[in-house]
Each structure stands twice: as structure tokens, then as C-alpha cells.
């Protein structure tokens, strides 16, 4: 299906800035590479580190003029907001506790924002950002990356078309093993800030990877959680935040689910898996093998759909980039999130209404839902796993 893998690169080029993502940072470089896939946006400014030397080195290395490499994000927002050629959007790739102030500052200066998840550390902050973006007519994207996989989008359309019948049960897990030891005590940067409640927020494991489960299930199925019962564990002695969590959920409409996320599951790299059981069929999808989905029917043989080989629903086909047998993975999924977001901004900039596919990126309301989910899991766990309403 080579024809379906073509990506539209026609049209004007947008510009963006970045806060965070300095030299040797992981996720900032991922964002920049993903944005570059389709050639429709280029980096124009940044404040990449709290270390001015790192910021300057990173900016110059990216080809940015020194006058648009800023020592602080507030100065950057104010100066960019006044420019005739101001950036079209800002990318935030900093620890969780900084997201709110950075996003708020740029939204106040009328600049669209892309932010790593979780959007903020409290739902009140998340709601405030959503309201500010809406008030100023801006778009706020939250990078729940895995929704960018074409197969995930196909599964979502299956649910909308009731291909599985009525959803009865959802089982989703996300096991990793990178925090099986007290890694934060070694000075490892990611472990240090994620395990620190002052920088990560009230949760580590649920906030980091459990939030992906909540978002993915909601995106695929459209189900809304009515209540949950969560147990958050600190299994490694000396750890300040959770590294393992078991969560039972009840959905509006009667379906139920069971989530498990862990960073101490020895032998697991990035084992995000979702299984959805309906009255007519079930699906199973795994992030480490994202180009395929297993579909089991109650009245006919099980089949495996392959991205690139098999025909997907149109809304998913548009995001397939290369022929079958050539794996599309994390970078491509990230690029697909940006594909929709940038198309949306381009349409708005040209005075057109965005098409439905242009709006198929994680937006502020999904960011709010993710933060609320984290809060409710922590609340339930602190109350001996009591059933806790989402409202």
C-alpha cells in the first residue's frame, strides 16, 4: 500500500520554539526529529536549559541565531509574542512541575503550545490551561505519543463502528523494569526527577506510564471511567513515589477494566499492551509490535491485521507512511501526532476550518482527563484503595 503511505509536504512552513531539550536531553531531540519528518515546521528559537552555556550550545548547534536563543522562558515568550514573525507554536519538554507556568506564559502571549504529558501536576492547573487556550483561540496539544500509530487509529474506528459489539471488559498493562533498583541514587537524570515529588508530582509510575494507559483506552474505546480503585506501591526501599500500580476501573455504561503499570517488572522493556473484549469480538495490541493487531471473533477465525499490507479504515490509512514489512515505530507515531497538529495550525493560519483528521491529536481535554486520573488513583490508594468517583 505504498500509495497510502505518502505524506503531504505541500504548503507553507511553520516555525516553533522549544523550552527544554538541551544538549544530552532525550525527549527534546525526539520531538525535534519527529517534527522534521514531514518538513512542515522548523525550529526558530529556544531556551533549552537552565545552564546558559548549554542553551547557547544547543541553539547554535540547531542553526538558530544567537538573538533567538533565550536565557529564560519568560523573556522568550514576551519577545516572541511581540515579533512580526513570532513562532507558530511552542514545545515544552521539561519536568512535570514546570509545565503549567511555561504553558501559561506562552498562551498568554498568544502562542500555541505542545506539552509533554502529564499536562500539569494538578487538574486545577490543567483546567486553567484549557480555559486560557480556549479564551485566546489557541490549540494546546499533549503528546500522548502512542495514539499516533495507524493501527491504534484503526482500532478506534472499529470501536466507533461497533465492530466488537458492546464493550464488556478492558485489560491494559504497561510493565517496565528500569526502576527495579534505586537508580535515582546514582545520579541518573530521568530517575532523579521522576522519583522526586517536588518535580514529578504526586505520582511517578501512574503519572509516567499509567497515564498512557488511561489515554490509550479512552482514545481507542471512547469509554469514560466512572470510578476506580487503585493501589500504588513503593516496592524499592527508599523510593519516595510509586513504582508499581494496580487499578480496577468501572466505566460509564457498565463495562469494567483492569490496569497494571510497573517500573519494577524485571524482564520487561516497554511492554504496553491493550486487550478489549466485546460481545462480538476482541482485539489485542502491543506497543512493542505496533504494526499489527490481533482480532478474535466469536463466530469466525481469528485474524491479524498488518499496517501497510491490509486495508485499514481511511482515518488510519492516512497515517501509514511506508510499505508493509518495514516497521513503523515510536518516531513515526510521534510524527503523526505532529502531522495532525501542524495541519490544524496551517488550516487556521490560512483562514480555513481544520478537517477532522487535522484535529486527531491529543488536545487539552485529554490532558485534563489524564491529570484527573492520576489524582484519583493517588486519592484511592491513600484511602486503602477505596472506590473513588471520577467526578
| Tens-level pLDDT at each residue, the chain (391 residues) | 444 444 444 457 999 999 999 988 899 999 999 999 999 999 999 999 999 999 999 999 999 999 999 999 999 999 999 999 999 999 999 999 999 999 999 999 999 999 999 999 999 999 999 999 999 999 999 999 999 999 999 999 999 999 999 999 999 999 999 999 999 999 999 999 999 999 999 999 999 999 999 999 999 999 999 999 999 999 999 999 999 999 999 999 999 999 999 999 999 999 999 999 999 999 999 999 999 999 999 999 999 999 999 999 998 999 999 999 999 999 999 999 999 999 999 999 999 999 999 999 999 999 999 999 999 999 999 999 999 999 8
Collapsing DSSP to helix, strand or coil, 184 comes out as: helix
The string of DSSP letters for 53-92 reads HHHHHHHHHTT--GGGB-SSHHHHHHHHHH-TT--SEEEE
Domain boundaries in the chain? 2-146+345-363, 149-320+369-389
**Residue 1 DSSP code:** -
* Dist CA 124 CA 372 (whole Å): 9
Locate cell 516572541: which residue? 80
Provide the β-strand partners of residue 14.
Answer: 41
The string of DSSP letters for 98-160 reads GHHHHHHHHHHTT-EEEEPSSS-SSHHHHHHHHHHHHHTT--EEE--GGGGSHHHHHHHHHHH
pLDDT of 11 reads 53
pLDDT of 12 reads 76
Contact 49, 22 (CB under 8 A): yes
The cell for 218 is 479512552
The string of DSSP letters for 259-328 reads EEEES--TT-SS--EEEEEESSEEEEEETTSTTEEEEEESSS--EEEETTTSPPPHHHHTT--S-TTS--
Report, at the CATH architecture level, how domain 2-146+345-363 is classified.
Answer: 3-Layer(aba) Sandwich (3.40)
Residues, the chain, total? 391
Report the phi/psi class of residue 73: left, alpha or beta, with left for phi > 0 and alpha for psi in -120 to 50.
alpha
pLDDT tens digit sequence for 307-353 = 999 999 998 999 999 999 999 999 999 999 999 999 999 999 999 99
Locate cell 544567537: which residue? 66
> Which one, of 337, 319, 315, lies nearest residue 328 by Cα?
319
What distance lies between CA 188 and its chain's CA centroid?
23
Collapsing DSSP to helix, strand or coil, 175 comes out as: strand
> Which one, of 389, 366, 372, lies nearest residue 144 by Cα?
366
The string of DSSP letters for 200-241 reads H-S-SHIIIIIHHHHHHHHHHH---EEEEEEEEE--STT-SS
| CATH code matching the domain that covers 149-320+369-389, chosen among 3.30.360.10, 3.40.1050.10, 3.30.460.80, 2.130.10.30 | 3.30.360.10
The C-alpha angle 310, 9, 311, rounded to 5 degrees, equals 10
* Dist CA 69 CA 48 (whole Å): 8
Provide the β-strand partners of residue 246.
Answer: 231, 260
- DSSP element (H, E) containing 245: strand 244-251
* Dist CA 61 CA 59 (whole Å): 5
The cell for 68 is 533567538
Amino acid at each position: 500500500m505504498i500509495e497510502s503511505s505518502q505524506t503531504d509536504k505541500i504548503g507553507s512552513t511553520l516555525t516553533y520554539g522549544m523550552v527544554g531539550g538541551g544538549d544530552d536531553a532525550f525527549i527534546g531531540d525526539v520531538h525535534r526529529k519527529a517534527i522534521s519528518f514531514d518538513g512542515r515546521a522548523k525550529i526558530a528559537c529556544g531556551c533549552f536549559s537552565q545552564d546558559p552555556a548549554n542553551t547557547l550550545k544547543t541553539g547554535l548547534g540547531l542553526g538558530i541565531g544567537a538573538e533567538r536563543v533565550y536565557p529564560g522562558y519568560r523573556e522568550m515568550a514576551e519577545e516572541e509574542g511581540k515579533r512580526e514573525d513570532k513562532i507558530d507554536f511552542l514545545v515544552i519538554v521539561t519536568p512535570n512541575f514546570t509545565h503549567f507556568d511555561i504553558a501559561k506564559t506562552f498562551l498568554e502571549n498568544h502562542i500555541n503550545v505542545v506539552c509533554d504529558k502529564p499536562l500539569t501536576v494538578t487538574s486545577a492547573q490543567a483546567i486553567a490551561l484549557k480555559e486560557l487556550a480556549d479564551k485566546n483561540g489557541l490549540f494546546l496539544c499533549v503528546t500522548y505519543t502512542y495514539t499516533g500509530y495507524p493501527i491504534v487509529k484503526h482500532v478506534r474506528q472499529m470501536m466507533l463502528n461497533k465492530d466488537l459489539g458492546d464493550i464488556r471488559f478492558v485489560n491494559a498493562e504497561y510493565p517496565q523494569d528500569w526502576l527495579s533498583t534505586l537508580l535515582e541514587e546514582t545520579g541518573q537524570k530521568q530517575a532523579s526527577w521522576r522519583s522526586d515529588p517536588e518535580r514529578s508530582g504526586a505520582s511517578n509510575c501512574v503519572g509516567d506510564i499509567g497515564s498512557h494507559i488511561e489515554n490509550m483506552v479512552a482514545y481507542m474505546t471512547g469509554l469514560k471511567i466512572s470510578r476506580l480503585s487503585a493501589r500504588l506501591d513503593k516496592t524499592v526501599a527508599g523510593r519516595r513515589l510509586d513504582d508499581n500500580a494496580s487499578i480496577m476501573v468501572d466505566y460509564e455504561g457498565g463495562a469494567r477494566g483492569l490496569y497494571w503499570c510497573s517500573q519494577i517488572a524485571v524482564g520487561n522493556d516497554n511492554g504496553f499492551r491493550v486487550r478489549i473484549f466485546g460481545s462480538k469480538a476482541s482485539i489485542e495490541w502491543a506497543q512493542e509490535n505496533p504494526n499489527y493487531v490481533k482480532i478474535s471473533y466469536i463466530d469466525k477465525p481469528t485474524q491479524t491485521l498488518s499496517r501497510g499490507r491490509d486495508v485499514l479504515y481511511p482515518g488510519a490509512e492516512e497515517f501509514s507512511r511506508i510499505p508493509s514489512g518495514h516497521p513503523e515505530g515510536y518516531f513515526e507515531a510521534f510524527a503523526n501526532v505532529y502531522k495532525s497538529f501542524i495541519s490544524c495550525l496551517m488550516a487556521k493560519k490560512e483562514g480555513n476550518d481544520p478537517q477532522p483528521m487535522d484535529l486527531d491529536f491529543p488536545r487539552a481535554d485529554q490532558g485534563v482527563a489524564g491529570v484527573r486520573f492520576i489524582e484519583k488513583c493517588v486519592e484511592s490508594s491513600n484511602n486503602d484503595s477505596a472506590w473513588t468517583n471520577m467526578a
